[in-house]
Amino acid sequence: MLLWKLFLIFMKIGFASFGGGYAVISMIHYEVSQYGWLTPERFQHIVALAGMSPGSIAVNAAMLIGLDIAGLPGAIAAIVGIILPSLIIIVLAARFFYKIHTKPWVQYSLYGLRPVIIGLIIYAAIHLGFPSLTGSLFNWTTLATLLIGGAAFVSIVKYKIHPLTVIGLSACAGIVLF
Render pLDDT for 149-163 as a digit per residue (tens, 0 to 9): 999 999 999 999 999
For residue 148, what are the contacts with CB-CB under 8 A and spacing of at least 6?
170, 173, 174, 177
pLDDT tens digits along 11-26: 999 988 766 777 789 8
Average pLDDT over residues 52-67: 94
Q: How far apart are CA 3 and CA 148, in angstroms?
A: 38
Q: Which pLDDT score, from 0 to 100, does residue 157 have?
A: 94
Q: Which residue intervals of the chain are DSSP H helices?
A: 2-15, 21-35, 40-52, 57-100, 104-129, 140-157, 163-177
Q: Which pLDDT score, from 0 to 100, does residue 90 have?
A: 86
Q: Which pLDDT score, from 0 to 100, does residue 134 have?
A: 62
**Percent of the chain scoring above 70 in pLDDT:** 94
Whether the pLDDT of residue 139 is over 90: the answer is no
Neighbouring C-beta atoms of residue 149, cutoff 10 Å: 13
The separation between the first and the last C-alpha atoms of the chain, rounded to the nearest angstrom, is 39
Q: How far apart are CA 18 and CA 22, in angstroms?
A: 10
Q: Which pLDDT score, from 0 to 100, does residue 110 have?
A: 85
Q: Which pLDDT score, from 0 to 100, does residue 135 have?
A: 64
| pLDDT band for position 133 (cuts 50, 70, 90) | low
